[in-house]
């Protein structure tokens, strides 16, 4: 479970709101230019070890910053699943005093961000702990926003009473989520696909009960290190300004030696098929079918991206939709996707269907996958997929936020810095043979996990 955290933002004065409202059309212009020419990503390493990537976008006075650390939930201890997420959550619940600056409780911290017309917050995913800053670049506002973000990053208050309150709220939320068949299906699927790997860990009332403030503080101290930081910036700053800004953002973090984080094992491949059927009184049966897929750095990434668009990622034009929905009326929607990470994320086929049709829907979906792995797509399907993917490329970078996400992912996965420049060429190079070979290397239809919740005979 990922817990995104953001700070509230007051309505800005009219002039500032007008500036922000220009972000989308100007970002569209940037995206169009980027699709036609090399995207100017500047990158360098600071003396602290922090790696920085910058895309200058001077048209509007805004800046988006993302700071990533190798500290996601894949580093949670099994008995403390949720440690990364709750540490990120609690980082927004106040800051300690620093020098002449007084301590701020959670309300005062929220007010401070609102007064700046800016936001800063943290979240944890499977692979990283992320902090994001969005601010206007008006010098005085930018200076104060960076100073406050640096304090929140390095000196969160982590008050005991607030953690007790948040823990109760999280436990109540988890109990409510567990009343939903989709949640039950997703959890059972993750357990079966990932086994003992941290990607399959579940935050629960039991794991939350083990977490003390001292655990959160220790986690943040060992995880939030300047030497590990990957900082991505998109906005109206120069390289010189960006370098100085990043230095200030990380200045309060401990300096010194930076031993490597411990290795995390790879996801083990499945050795046999597994079927999990959970009873649930629901109007719809929830179905997940899949197995471990690929790491993001896998050379087959583009072949699988294009191939999956044809199989189940292309909406109403996919094979799964044609066979499961259009021809047989077994489900309103059916989809497939790869979720590659630093380790092999799951390949998933998902659908909902009438409880008495679940067995037939599973049978058809598995048959479609088996045939596709064996034969691959047709040339006509491949051409249509390429046309859609290449034609929609600009939508992948049509805002500063999307562009920032792309740059941060390039940094996280050590992708080449010309990745966006060559994206459409990589798609164009994929052949029918490439897709068939990649699917056969990575998917074994005789070893699938199949999870159904709420199915009836």
pLDDT digits (tens, 9 = 90+) for 263-280: 999 999 999 999 999 999
386-414 burial, b at 16+ Cβ within 10 Å, e below that, comes to: bebbeeebbebbbbbbebbbbbbbbbbbe
Share of the chain above pLDDT 90, in %: 88
**Helix (H) and strand (E) counts in the chain:** 17, 13
Residues contacting residue 320 through CB under 8 Å, at least 6 positions apart = 311, 312, 334, 335, 336, 349, 365, 368
Whole-model pTM: value is 0.89
Q: What is the mean pLDDT of residues 368-376?
A: 98
Whether 18 has a pLDDT exceeding 50, the answer reads no
Per the prediction, the chain carries an average pLDDT of 92
Q: What is the mean pLDDT of residues 382-391?
A: 97
Q: Residue 415's pLDDT is what?
A: 97
Q: What is the mean pLDDT of residues 119-127?
A: 97
Same fold, 40-249 and 274-453: yes
Q: In angstroms, rounded to a whole number, what is the distance separating the alpha carbons of residues 426 and 95?
A: 46
Q: In angstroms, rounded to a whole number, what is the distance separating the alpha carbons of residues 388 and 384?
A: 6
Q: Would you say 452 and 287 are in contact if contact means Cβ atoms under 8 Å apart?
A: yes
Q: What is the mean pLDDT of residues 3-11?
A: 35
Q: What is the mean pLDDT of residues 52-79?
A: 96
The neighbour count for residue 190, using CB atoms within 10 Å, is 19
Q: What is the mean pLDDT of residues 373-384?
A: 98
Q: Residue 255's pLDDT is what?
A: 80
Q: Express each pLDDT in 394-410 by its tens digit.
A: 999 988 999 999 999 99
Q: Express each pLDDT in 81-115 by its tens digit.
A: 999 999 999 999 999 999 999 999 999 999 999 99
Its CATH class, for the domain covering 274-453, is alpha beta
In the chain, where the domains are located: 40-249, 274-453
Q: Express each pLDDT in 184-233 by its tens digit.
A: 999 999 999 999 999 999 999 999 999 999 999 999 999 999 999 999 99
Q: What are phi and psi of 172, to 5 degrees?
A: -65, -40
Q: What are phi and psi of 37, to 5 degrees?
A: -145, 170
Q: Residue 422's pLDDT is what?
A: 96
Residues contacting residue 70 through CB under 8 Å, at least 6 positions apart = 127, 128, 223, 228, 261
Tell how strand 94-95 and strand 274-278 pair up. unpaired
Q: Express each pLDDT in 412-444 by its tens digit.
A: 999 999 999 999 999 999 999 999 999 999 999
CATH of region 40-249? 3.30.830.10
């Amino acid at each position: 479970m990922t817990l995104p955290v953001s700070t509230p933002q007051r309505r800005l004065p009219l002039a500032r709101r007008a500036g922000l409202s220009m972000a989308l059309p100007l970002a569209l212009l940037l995206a169009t230019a980027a699709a036609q020419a090399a995207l100017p990503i500047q990158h360098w390493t600071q003396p602290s070890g922090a790696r920085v990537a910058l895309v200058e976008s001077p048209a509007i006075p805004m800046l988006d910053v993302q700071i990533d650390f190798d500290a996601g939930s894949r580093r949670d201890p099994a008995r403390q699943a949720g440690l990364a997420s709750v540490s990120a959550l609690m980082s927004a619940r106040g800051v300690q005093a620093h020098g002449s600056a007084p301590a701020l409780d959670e309300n005062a911290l929220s007010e401070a961000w609102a007064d700046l017309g800016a936001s800063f917050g943290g979240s944890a995913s499977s692979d990283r702990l992320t902090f994001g800053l969005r601010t206007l670049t008006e010098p005085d506002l930018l200076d104060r926003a960076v100073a406050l973000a640096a304090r929140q990053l390095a000196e969160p208050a982590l008050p005991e009473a607030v953690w007790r309150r948040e823990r109760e709220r999280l436990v109540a939320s988890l109990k409510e989520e567990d009343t939903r068949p989709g949640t039950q299906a997703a959890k059972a699927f993750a357990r079966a696909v990932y086994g003992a790997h941290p990607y399959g860990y579940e935050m629960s009332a039991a794991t939350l009960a083990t977490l003390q403030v001292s655990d959160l503080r220790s986690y943040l101290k060992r995880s939030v290190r300047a030497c590990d930081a990957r900082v991505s910036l998109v906005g109206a700053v120069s390289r010189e300004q960006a370098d100085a800004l990043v230095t200030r953002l990380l200045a309060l973090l401990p300096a010194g030696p930076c031993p490597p984080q411990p290795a995390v094992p790879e996801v083990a491949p499945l050795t046999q098929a597994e079927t999990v059927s959970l009873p649930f009184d629901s109007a719809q049966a929830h179905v997940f079918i899949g197995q471990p897929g690929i790491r993001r750095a896998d050379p087959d990434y583009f072949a699988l991206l294009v191939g999956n668009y044809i199989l189940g990622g292309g909406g109403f034009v996919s094979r799964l939709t044609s066979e499961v929905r259009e021809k047989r009326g077994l489900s309103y929607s059916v989809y497939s996707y790869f979720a590659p990470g630093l380790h092999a994320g799951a390949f998933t086929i998902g659908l909902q269907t009438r409880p008495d049709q679940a067995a037939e829907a599973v049978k058809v979906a598995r048959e479609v996958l088996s045939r596709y792995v064996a034969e691959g797509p047709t040339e006509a399907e491949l051409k249509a997929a390429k046309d859609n993917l290449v034609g929609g490329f600009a939508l992948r970078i049509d805002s500063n936020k999307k562009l920032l996400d792309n740059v941060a992912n390039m940094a996280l996965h050590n992708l080449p810095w010309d990745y966006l420049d060559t994206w459409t060429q990589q798609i164009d190079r994929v052949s029918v043979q490439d897709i068939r070979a990649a699917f056969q290397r990575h998917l074994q239809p005789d070893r699938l996990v199949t999870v159904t919740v709420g199915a009836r005979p």
